Copies of this chain bind each other. A is one copy, B any other.
Amino acid sequence: MIENKNCIIRLSHYKSALNRFKSLGFIKIFSDYLADAAGVSSAQVRKDFSLFGIAGNKRGGYQIDALLEQLNVILGKNQIQNVILVGAGHMGAALLRYKNFEKEGIRIVCAFDIDPAKCTTKQEIPVLPLSELEKYVAEQAVRIAIICVPAIAAQATLDMLVKAGVKGVLNFAPIQLKAPEDCSLSYVNVETELENLIYKVNARERSDMITREKAALQD
């Protein structure tokens, strides 16, 4: 099992870039084009591909269709992945309406919420009461879930998902969670990303200001 998260993320980026090249009419592609579109060096592309046994033709480049198929097999995208979502608030509802997942082989099949007012079976993706989660996960053999509940309810939600048999969770709640070893946990934390950006912008401004002050003193 190749554990390097960054490598898998790069494979995802290569796949997105390949789909864009394909939609522009390209049939073959060189590693340096792909590298440029994915924001890495072409040596990195070749290294990543060789790690997974993907061979290219140095003169002719890669066949886009064949390459996409290989990447889909590696990323487990040759079959549709059913995903459930817990918490149908603003963020959860936005994800339910998001159309890009399907073309990536990901399908949100059902959502769950503790609030009866949010539950409905009249939409394309049903929102069921939280009490039905365990049965649904077992019956449909769901292994991947997205948590969109408030921070205070997130750990209890994760525990419930793990008990039901879910093996991978993407957490949108702004809190660090604890999962057993056989359940993978990823985070999307918009506040943290914004805070980090704000810090960087402020730090750069301070450092620019100091540079300007020093220059003014030397004049």
Task: List the interface of chain A (C-beta within 8 A of B).
Answer: 1-2, 5, 8-9, 12-13, 16-17, 20, 37-39, 74-77, 81, 83, 90-91, 93-95, 97-98, 100-101, 104, 106, 143-144, 146, 151, 167-170, 174-176, 178, 182, 184, 186-207
Give A157 Cβ to nearest chain B Cβ, in Å.
Answer: 16
Once bound together, how far apart are the Cα atoms of A204 and B166, in whole Å? 13
Question: Which partner residue on chain B sits nearest A173 by CB separation?
Answer: B100
Once bound together, how far apart are the Cα atoms of A178 and B202, in whole Å? 21
**Assuming the A-B contacts A37-B176, A200-B184, are A191 and B1 also in contact, with contact meaning beta carbons closer than 8 angstroms in the complex?**
no
Once bound together, how far apart are the Cα atoms of A132 and B169, in whole Å? 40
Whether the Cβ atoms of A199 and B100 lie closer than 8 Å is no
Residue in B2, B20, B93, B100 whose beta carbon sits within 8 Å of that of A191 in the complex: B100
List residues of chain B with CB within 8 A of the CB of A187. Answer: 193
Whether the Cβ atoms of B190 and A1 lie closer than 8 Å is no
Question: Could you list 16 further interchain pairs (A-B, Cβ under 8 angstroms) beyond the known A75-B198, A182-B204?
Answer: A2-B203, A12-B189, A12-B192, A77-B195, A91-B94, A91-B98, A94-B94, A106-B194, A106-B198, A146-B194, A168-B198, A170-B197, A184-B200, A184-B204, A186-B196, A188-B193
Residue in B98, B104, B196 whose beta carbon sits within 8 Å of that of A5 in the complex: B196
**Assuming the A-B contacts A16-B175, A90-B97, are A168 and B38 also in contact, with contact meaning beta carbons closer than 8 angstroms in the complex?**
no
List residues of chain B with CB within 8 A of the CB of A167. Answer: 201, 204-205
Question: Could you list 17 A-B pairs, sorted by A, with CB under 8 Å?
Answer: A1-B207, A2-B203, A8-B196, A8-B199, A12-B189, A12-B192, A20-B175, A81-B198, A90-B97, A95-B190, A144-B194, A144-B197, A144-B201, A167-B201, A167-B205, A168-B197, A168-B201
Question: Which partner residue on chain B sits nearest A205 by CB separation?
Answer: B167
